[in-house]
């Protein structure tokens, strides 16, 4: 399959996503944010980074990039879209996913390994068995997920909370296991249809065995398997 | 020609701008008339210590700068070495001490921005940053503010760029209380054929200013901040600190690399210290040409800016490109695509003169090369400092009461692990993106950072690697600058070697006090001499670097701190080695031999409050043999772990190996030393390595071949670090001391 990775001014993880996809035997290409043609890609990735410097509010400017209208149309037609880190922030700003990402509790940038628990596998981007633990790093200043109580209830009821931060043994600490303070330990959510996935951790960083563990591969292989089934 | 400075007022302005009377006379002699205001500003900046190296230039000639790998030595924005298969690495280290002492976040952030511009100016994509930091002790609120601010600034800038910050070092000592050190190092990767020069050539070619607008920020940064000592007026210099915009810099990286990739430029330079004056005059003098620049063309950030303000502004995130007129349209299209401003501000001429005009009126006109190259070169007076006799005569073995019994030693081991100079640096590196680009093979916390060589997501990935480390123990340099500088080199090399890298070249950042004081200059000269001798012995050249003088506050200089940034290369990055003990039953070797050398040690300072004595001796031949042993053993696949002995001695080294591997060790030291010395001595040329029991014999053979002293000191296993008759601590105790210590110190606890 072929991943299309959008480059906004200030994106900085686009090359990592392309590399990860290629390591897994897939094709990947770049999409400039000013372009409006995204045909020829099976799935769209909004990568990490600091689009427009994260000035004003993370993702608040990037959602107005010309390519975003196409991405929104693609998603509405059921096309698979993933937003990683800054990409998740952009998806939230574009209202493709509910909620918002505040500054980390502690007000510091955090780059560290985290343990995540797979909560649901109805999302097209996650077919691992619920309860599976994944070690995937986070790298952000604004990853503190928040939403109103009704939205949270809906996310929980619909099985849209795909990944939660947890302790190394899979349990959740009483005061929360999210290093950034995220509500309900939320690390990644999908839309109701399951085709749009946003997560703060960086799965592309843990794919290439030459530089470490490979727990992030499942995100890319899940969607590949899913699309192979559909075809 | 504008004549805006009365002959009788000019010398006075010259002094205010930091020029010495003799230097002013030389300006007049070059011009044959009274300089204009703009000219005086330009000369004062370019002839400042920071830009001209007028006090250090002669001493720096001692450095060996050539070697088989060297593609570009000192003299450009960064040095470049070949690392095989047509790949090249550009790297350099630079200080941003004084701005950071006034405003730590922006000072450190723009320090990172500046060094990264030096790297992509060479045509290389920045792939890694390191930083070397020095502050006063953390019991002082101001020092905590400086430290926290600098770390946040380094992260805030580097994270946004998507350049991983992979390593570095930090020390806290009273000597840096009035003058912290922020040294930033950056490495970039390119194909050899992409090597670019900051040169202007081809009369008729255009000068294109790319990036940010120009404002009054940072005016005189190089002269009023970087080239003077601090006093009670330091706070007034806050307006001389620039403010960084990492987003703009990220766009500049991408746009400039695209411009170079498409072959649209003749030369590219960055605007750093002394702004446009420096980059333009250096590019012109390299190309042996003149430049004609009109300041009214420069996009201004503020109104009513004067020509001199345009010429010396240190507004950040600006680049200067020279290109043939036919490429202008294509080049500007690339800039526009990246949302960057680009403006033609002048042309290259064949006159050799640097002409600045404001519209039709000429406001400066001087030979370009005189700015960049005719600064006076000084031969500063040198005197061996009197304090050296006092400290070197002190015998730390008899001069203090050393502890004997085991439980006291346990406490000292824990106290050393909790020392801010030794404890876990997680609090720092967790604020830095250290993984982006997916080439970080060894995460921060080891001896050296290890990176895979590869053009992630754009081109080829390779099996090659690079190991990088920056080091300097300022206390050793204070006690003996010659030996201290050599140890800085040796330790940086040792760290690289423990990771599996073969030392290839260094960059340096030489932080000293006021060079006009003979005692300070002597320490500088001795450090350069020591470093040069070490480089020659190892066959490792200096390919770039930076001198930072005037690191004094209220007349008191910092410890001499010649920071060494060592780069080592690896043919096969998968062979890299780490500090962590790997498996129960592995055999623990000590390569090298412990002597009773506690002068200048962390133990002496922490347990006895003394910074005195002679630093550990360094035998360069032994050091090389020990390092060669480790490299040969790693290459043969024999080593399970390797970790050098440095601050805190063998006890700290063993504790770090245990914690990293989550394994204890059973150690028996049969040296004839008192217990405190065998645990805490900082004898050089020692490396703790482990092998499987089956491979132990083979390692012994290699050690014997190289004729180095070695001993088998124990085995890996259990949940305690047990050093017979000396110390015995559980892994939990070690961690409880080591891991949270920095956070505790910052909490003021």
B129 and B158 Cβ atoms separated by less than 8 Å: yes
At residue B555, the pLDDT reads 84
Does position B217 have pLDDT exceeding 90, yes or no? Answer: no
B40 and B277 Cβ atoms separated by less than 8 Å: no
B72 and B116 Cβ atoms separated by less than 8 Å: no
At residue B235, the pLDDT reads 58
Q: CB–CB of A9 and B251 under 8 A?
A: yes
ipTM score here? Answer: 0.97
Partners of A140 in the beta sheet? A110
- B143: closest CA of chain A, how far (Å): 19
Q: What is the mean pLDDT of residues A7-23?
A: 98
| Beta strand extents in B139-289 (DSSP E only) | 165-172, 181-191, 206-211, 267-270
DSSP B593: -
Q: Is B96 a catalytic residue?
A: yes
Chain B, 144 to 183: residues with Cβ < 8 Å from chain A are 152, 155-156, 159-162
Partners of A100 in the beta sheet? A146
At residue B224, the pLDDT reads 59
Q: Identify the residue among A211, A212, A214, A217 best suited for mutation to test binding to B, counting B beta carbons within 10 A and taking the highest.
A: A211
Confidence band, pLDDT 50/70/90 cuts, at residue A154? very high
At residue B197, the pLDDT reads 87
- From chain B, pick out residues whose CB is under 8 angstroms from the CB of A85: none
Q: How many whole angstroms separate alpha carbon B207 and alpha carbon B324?
A: 9
Q: What is the mean pLDDT of residues B76-87?
A: 95
Report the first-to-last Cα separation within chain B, whole angstroms. Answer: 64
Q: CB–CB of B438 and A109 under 8 A?
A: no
Q: What is the pLDDT of residues B486-513, one digit of tens each?
A: 999 999 999 999 999 999 999 999 999 9
- A146: closest CA of chain B, how far (Å): 22
Q: Is B55 a catalytic residue?
A: no
Q: What is the mean pLDDT of residues B505-528?
A: 97
Q: What is the mean pLDDT of residues A101-127?
A: 96
Q: Is A202 a catalytic residue?
A: yes
Number of Cα atoms under 13 Å in the Cβ half of residue B636: 18
At residue A231, the pLDDT reads 61
Q: CB–CB of B160 and A10 under 8 A?
A: yes
- B152: closest CA of chain A, how far (Å): 8
- Containing domain of residue A9, as a range? 2-230
Nearest CA in chain B to A208: B438
Q: How many whole angstroms separate alpha carbon B436 and alpha carbon B562?
A: 30
Q: What is the mean pLDDT of residues B35-46?
A: 95
Does position B175 have pLDDT exceeding 60, yes or no? Answer: yes
Confidence band, pLDDT 50/70/90 cuts, at residue B64? very high
- From chain B, pick out residues whose CB is under 8 angstroms from the CB of A49: 162
Confidence band, pLDDT 50/70/90 cuts, at residue B234? low
At residue A166, the pLDDT reads 98
Q: What is the mean pLDDT of residues B563-589?
A: 97
B601 and B646 Cβ atoms separated by less than 8 Å: no
Whose CA is closest to A106, among A53, A171, A182? Answer: A182
Nearest CA in chain A to B339: A9
- A139: closest CA of chain B, how far (Å): 6
Q: At A30, which CATH number?
A: 3.40.50.880
Q: How many whole angstroms separate alpha carbon B355 and alpha carbon B207?
A: 13
At residue A1, the pLDDT reads 94
Which of A13, A33, A58, A85 is catalytic? The answer is: A85
Q: CB–CB of B160 and A52 under 8 A?
A: no
At residue B633, the pLDDT reads 98
Which of A70, A93, A119, A204 is catalytic? The answer is: A204
Chain A, 33 to 52: residues with Cβ < 8 Å from chain B are 34, 48-50, 52
Q: How many whole angstroms separate alpha carbon A1 and alpha carbon A41?
A: 8
Chain B, 319 to 338: residues with Cβ < 8 Å from chain A are 337-338
Domain count, chain A: 1
Q: What is the mean pLDDT of residues B280-287?
A: 93
Q: What is the pLDDT of residues B404-413, one digit of tens each?
A: 777 789 999 9
Does position B223 have pLDDT exceeding 70, yes or no? Answer: no
Q: CB–CB of A202 and B160 under 8 A?
A: no
- DSSP per-residue letters across A172-228: --TT-S-TT--GGGEEEEE-TTS-EEEESS-GGGG--GGGS--TTHHHHHHHHHHHH
């Amino acid at each position: 399959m072929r991943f299309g990775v959008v480059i906004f001014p200030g994106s900085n993880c686009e090359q990592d996503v392309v590399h990860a996809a290629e390591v897994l035997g897939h094709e990947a290409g770049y999409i400039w944010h000013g372009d409006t043609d995204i045909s020829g890609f099976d799935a769209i990735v909004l990568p990490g980074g600091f689009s427009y410097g994260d000035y004003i509010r993370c993702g608040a400017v990037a959602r107005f990039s010309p390519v975003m209208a196409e991405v929104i149309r693609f998603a509405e037609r059921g096309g698979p879209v993933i937003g990683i880190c800054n990409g998740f922030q952009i998806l939230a700003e574009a209202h493709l996913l509910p909620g918002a990402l505040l500054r980390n509790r502690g007000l510091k940038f955090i780059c560290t390994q985290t343990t995540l628990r797979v909560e649901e596998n109805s999302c097209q981007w996650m077919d691992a068995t619920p309860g599976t633990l994944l070690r995937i790093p986070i790298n952000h200043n604004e990853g503190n997920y928040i939403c109103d109580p009704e939205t949270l209830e809906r996310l929980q009821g619909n099985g849209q909370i795909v990944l939660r931060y947890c302790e190394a043994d899979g349990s959740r600490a009483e005061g929360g296991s999210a290093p950034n303070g995220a509500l309900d330990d939320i690390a990644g959510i999908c839309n109701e249809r399951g085709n749009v996935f946003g997560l703060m951790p960086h799965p592309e960083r843990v794919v290439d065995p030459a530089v470490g563990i490979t727990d992030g591969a499942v995100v890319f292989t899940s969607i590949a398997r899913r699309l192979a089934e559909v075809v | 020609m504008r004549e805006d400075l009365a002959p009788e007022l000019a010398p006075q302005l010259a002094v205010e701008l930091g020029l010495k009377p003799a230097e002013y006379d030389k300006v007049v002699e070059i011009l044959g008339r009274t300089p204009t205001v703009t000219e005086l500003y330009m000369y004062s900046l370019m002839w400042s210590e920071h830009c001209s190296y007028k006090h250090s230039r002669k001493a720096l000639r001692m450095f060996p700068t050539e070697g088989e790998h060297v593609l570009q030595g000192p003299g450009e924005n960064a040095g470049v070495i070949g690392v095989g298969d047509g790949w090249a690495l550009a790297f350099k280290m630079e200080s941003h001490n004084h701005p950071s002492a006034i405003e730590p976040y922006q000072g450190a952030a723009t320090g990172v921005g500046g060094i990264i511009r030096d790297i992509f100016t060479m045509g290389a994509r920045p792939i890694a940053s390191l930083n070397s930091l020095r502050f006063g002790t953390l019991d002082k609120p101001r020092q905590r503010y400086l430290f926290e601010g600098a770390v946040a600034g380094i992260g805030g800038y580097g994270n946004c760029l998507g350049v991983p910050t992979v390593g570095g070092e930090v020390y806290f000592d009273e000597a840096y209380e009035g003058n912290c050190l922020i040294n930033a190092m950056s490495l970039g990767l390119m194909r050899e054929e992409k090597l670019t020069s900051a040169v202007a050539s081809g009369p008729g070619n255009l000068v294109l200013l790319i990036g940010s607008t120009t404002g009054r920020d940072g005016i005189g940064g190089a002269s009023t901040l970087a080239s003077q000592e601090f006093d009670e007026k330091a706070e007034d210099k806050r307006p001389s600190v620039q403010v960084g915009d990492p987003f703009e810099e990220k766009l500049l990286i991408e746009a400039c690399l695209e411009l170079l990739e498409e072959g649209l430029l003749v030369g590219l330079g960055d605007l750093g210290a002394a702004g446009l004056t420096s980059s333009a005059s250096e590019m012109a003098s390299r190309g042996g040409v003149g430049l004609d620049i009109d300041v009214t063309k420069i996009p201004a950030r503020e109104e009513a800016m004067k020509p001199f303000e345009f010429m010396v502004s240190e507004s950040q995130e600006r680049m200067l490109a020279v290109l043939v007129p036919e490429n202008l349209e294509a080049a500007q299209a690339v800039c526009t695509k990246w949302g960057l401003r680009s403006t033609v501000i002048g042309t290259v001429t064949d006159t050799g003169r640097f002409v600045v005009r404001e519209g039709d009126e000429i406001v400066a006109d001087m030979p370009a090369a005189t700015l960049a190259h005719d600064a006076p070169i000084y031969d500063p007076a040198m005197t061996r400092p009197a304090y050296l006799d006092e400290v070197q005569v002190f015998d730390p073995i008899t001069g203090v009461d050393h502890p004997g019994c085991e439980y006291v030693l346990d406490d000292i081991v824990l106290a050393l692990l909790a020392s801010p100079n030794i404890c876990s640096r997680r609090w720092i590196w967790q604020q830095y993106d250290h993984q982006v680009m997916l080439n970080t093979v060894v995460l921060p916390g080891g001896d050296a950072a290890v990176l895979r060589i590869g053009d992630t997501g754009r081109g080829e990935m390779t099996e090659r690697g690079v190991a990088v480390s920056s080091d300097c123990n300022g206390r050793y340099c204070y006690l003996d600058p010659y030996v201290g500088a050599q140890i800085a080199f040796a330790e940086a090399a040792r760290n690289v070697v423990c990771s599996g890298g073969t030392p290839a070249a260094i960059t340096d950042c030489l932080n000293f006090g006021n060079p006009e004081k003979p005692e300070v200059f002597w320490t500088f000269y001795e450090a350069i001499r020591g470093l040069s001798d070490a480089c020659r012995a190892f066959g490792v050249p200096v390919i770039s670097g930076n001198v930072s003088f005037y690191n004094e506050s209220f007349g008191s200089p910092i410890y001499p701190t010649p920071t060494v940034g060592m780069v080592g290369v690896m043919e096969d990055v998968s062979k890299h080695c780490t500090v962590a003990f790997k498996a129960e039953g592995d055999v623990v070797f000590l390569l090298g031999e412990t002597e009773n050398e506690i002068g200048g040690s962390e133990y002496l300072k922490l347990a006895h409050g003394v910074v005195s004595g002679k630093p550990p001796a360094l035998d360069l031949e032994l050091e090389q043999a020990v390092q060669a042993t480790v490299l040969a053993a790693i290459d043969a696949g024999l080593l399970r772990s390797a970790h050098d002995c440095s601050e805190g001695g063998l006890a700290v080294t063993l504790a770090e190996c245990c914690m990293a591997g989550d394994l204890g060790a059973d150690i028996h030291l049969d040296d004839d030393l008192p217990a405190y010395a065998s645990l805490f001595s900082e004898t050089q040329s020692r490396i703790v390595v482990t092998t499987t029991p089956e491979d132990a014999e083979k390692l012994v053979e290699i050690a014997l071949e190289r004729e180095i002293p070695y001993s088998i000191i124990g085995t890996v296993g259990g949940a305690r670090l047990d050093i017979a008759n000396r110390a015995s601590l559980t892994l939990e105790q070690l961690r409880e001391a080591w891991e949270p210590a920095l956070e505790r110190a910052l909490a003021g606890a």
